C-alpha cells in the first residue's frame, strides 16, 4: 500500500508494507483522513507517536473494513466506519482496535465523517465527561475557529450552554453562525474583561483551552466560582506561574489531558460515550462537520501548509 511517511520533516507519499490486524483489531481501507495540529507537530519532530502506534501521521479516518482480526465480534468486512487512531490515518489501509470504531451517522458521507472522530472524542471527553458542562452554564472556548473549536461551539450549544469563543476577527461571523453567543477578538480585546462583562461578572463555568501557559492566569481570572479549566494545547507555551490563592478563592479546578497516549480501554470508553451521546446530535443535524477544504491524501504536505498558515476554519480533509 501507500502511506505518507515523514522524511527529514517532510511528508512523502511512499510504498510501505500493508498492516496486519492484531488481536482485537480490524483493517480499514481508508476513504478519508483529516489533519490535526498534532500531525504538524509530529512532522516537525516535536510530537513522537506513543509506543506501539503507527509511525505514519493521522489521528482519524473513515473507510470500509477489509479484514477482521482474531477476537473481534460485532464488526464485518464491508462495514462503513470511522475511527479514532493513535496514528496511521494518512495511509491507504490502517489497523484499528475495534473499540475505536464508530458508525457513520445518518446523513453524513463517508468522506465528511473523517472530520469528526478526533474532535468529537477530545471535546466530549473534556467538556462533558470530565468537566460536566450543564445546560445554562457558560463555556469559554479558545481558538473557536480551530477544528476543536468549531466542534466545541456546536456541542456546547446543543447541550444548552452559552458558548463564548476567542478567535481572529475575520472568523467571528462564522463562529456566531455555528452557535457562539459571543466571539472575542483575542488580538484586540481582553477576553477576561469581555467574559466578565458578558456574564454579569460571573465568569465562565468551563474553559476549554488550547493556548496553555500564556492564558493560564487569565483563564483563572475569567473563571466562575466552581469553574473548571481544562488545558489541551500548549500553543502559548508550557510553563507558567499560577496564583493558587486566585484559584482557591473560586474553588476552581485546572486540569490537563491528552487523548492520543491514553490506553486502548480508555479510548474505547470515550468512543462509546461519543457514540451514545454525540452521534445522535450529529444524526439530528445539531452538530455538523465543519470542513474548510479537501486535499488528495498524497498531497498532505499542501494541507499541512494550509494549517500552518492559520487561514483555515474548521477541518482540513485528506481524501484517497
Ligand X SMILES: NC(=O)c1ccc[n+]([C@@H]2O[C@H](COP(=O)([O-])OP(=O)(O)OC[C@H]3O[C@@H](n4cnc5c(N)ncnc54)[C@H](OP(=O)(O)O)[C@@H]3O)[C@@H](O)[C@H]2O)c1
Contact footprint for ligand X (CB under 6 A)? 36-38, 118, 122, 142-143, 145-149, 166-168, 171, 186, 210-211, 232-233, 235-236, 257-259, 307, 310
Q: Are 294 and 111 in contact (CB under 8 A)?
A: yes
Q: What is the DSSP string of 208-231?
A: EESSTHHHHHHHHHTEEEEEEEEE
Query: In whole angstroms, how far apart are CA 34 and each of 7, 203, 296?
Result: 20, 34, 11
Residue whose CB is less far from ligand X, 72 or 119: 119
Residue whose CB is less far from ligand X, 30 or 34: 34
User: What's the closest the beta carbon of residue 207 comes to ligand X, in angstroms?
Assistant: 12
Q: Are 82 and 114 in contact (CB under 8 A)?
A: yes
Q: Are 148 and 120 in contact (CB under 8 A)?
A: no
User: What's the closest the beta carbon of residue 307 comes to ligand X, in angstroms?
Assistant: 5
Residue whose CB is less far from ligand X, 171 or 288: 171
Please tell me what DSSP assigns to residue 115.
G
Closest CA to 179 of 136, 199, 150, 205: 150
Residue whose CB is less far from ligand X, 99 or 314: 314
User: What's the closest the beta carbon of residue 242 comes to ligand X, in angstroms?
Assistant: 18
- 3-class DSSP state for residue 65? strand
Alpha carbons 198 and 176: distance in angstroms, whole number: 15
Beta-ladder partners of 97? 25
Residue whose CB is less far from ligand X, 35 or 91: 35
User: What's the closest the beta carbon of residue 8 comes to ligand X, in angstroms?
Assistant: 23
Which residue lies nearest ligand X, judged by its C-beta? Answer: 233
Residue whose CB is less far from ligand X, 235 or 319: 235
User: What's the closest the beta carbon of residue 74 comes to ligand X, in angstroms?
Assistant: 27
User: What's the closest the beta carbon of residue 86 comes to ligand X, in angstroms?
Assistant: 11
Amino acid at each position: 500500500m501507500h502511506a505518507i511517511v515523514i522524511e527529514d520533516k517532510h511528508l512523502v507519499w511512499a510504498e510501505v508494507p500493508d498492516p496486519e490486524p492484531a488481536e482485537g483489531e480490524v483493517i480499514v481501507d481508508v476513504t478519508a483522513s483529516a489533519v490535526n495540529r498534532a500531525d504538524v507537530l509530529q512532522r516537525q519532530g516535536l510530537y513522537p507517536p506513543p509506543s506501539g502506534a503507527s509511525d505514519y501521521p493521522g489521528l482519524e479516518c473513515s473507510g470500509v473494513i477489509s479484514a477482521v482480526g482474531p477476537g473481534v465480534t460485532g464488526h464485518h468486512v464491508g462495514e462503513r466506519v470511522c475511527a479514532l487512531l493513535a496514528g496511521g490515518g494518512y495511509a491507504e489501509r490502517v489497523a484499528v482496535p475495534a473499540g475505536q470504531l464508530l458508525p457513520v451517522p445518518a446523513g453524513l458521507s463517508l468522506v465528511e465523517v473523517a472530520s469528526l472522530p478526533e474532535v468529537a472524542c477530545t471535546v466530549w471527553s473534556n467538556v462533558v465527561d470530565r468537566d460536566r458542562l450543564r445546560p445554562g452554564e457558560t463555556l469559554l472556548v479558545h481558538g473557536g475557529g480551530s477544528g476543536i473549536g468549531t466542534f466545541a461551539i456546536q456541542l456546547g450549544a446543543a447541550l444548552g450552554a452559552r458558548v463564548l469563543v476567542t478567535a481572529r476577527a475575520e472568523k467571528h461571523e462564522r463562529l456566531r453562525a455555528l452557535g457562539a453567543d459571543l466571539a472575542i477578538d483575542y488580538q484586540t480585546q481582553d477576553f477576561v474583561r469581555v467574559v466578565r462583562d458578558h456574564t454579569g461578572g460571573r465568569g465562565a463555568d468551563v474553559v476549554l483551552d488550547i493556548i496553555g501557559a500564556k492564558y493560564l492566569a487569565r483563564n483563572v481570572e475569567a473563571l466562575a466560582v466552581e469553574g473548571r479549566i481544562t488545558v489541551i494545547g500548549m500553543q502559548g507555551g508550557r510553563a507558567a506561574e499560577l496564583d493558587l490563592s486566585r484559584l482557591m478563592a473560586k474553588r476552581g479546578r485546572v486540569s490537563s489531558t491528552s487523548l492520543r497516549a491514553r490506553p486502548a480501554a480508555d479510548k474505547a470508553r470515550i468512543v462509546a460515550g461519543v457514540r451514545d451521546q454525540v452521534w445522535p446530535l450529529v444524526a439530528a443535524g445539531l452538530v455538523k462537520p465543519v470542513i474548510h477544504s479537501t486535499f488528495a491524501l498524497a498531497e498532505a504536505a499542501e494541507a499541512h501548509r494550509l494549517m500552518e498558515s492559520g487561514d483555515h476554519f474548521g477541518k482540513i480533509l485528506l481524501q484517497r
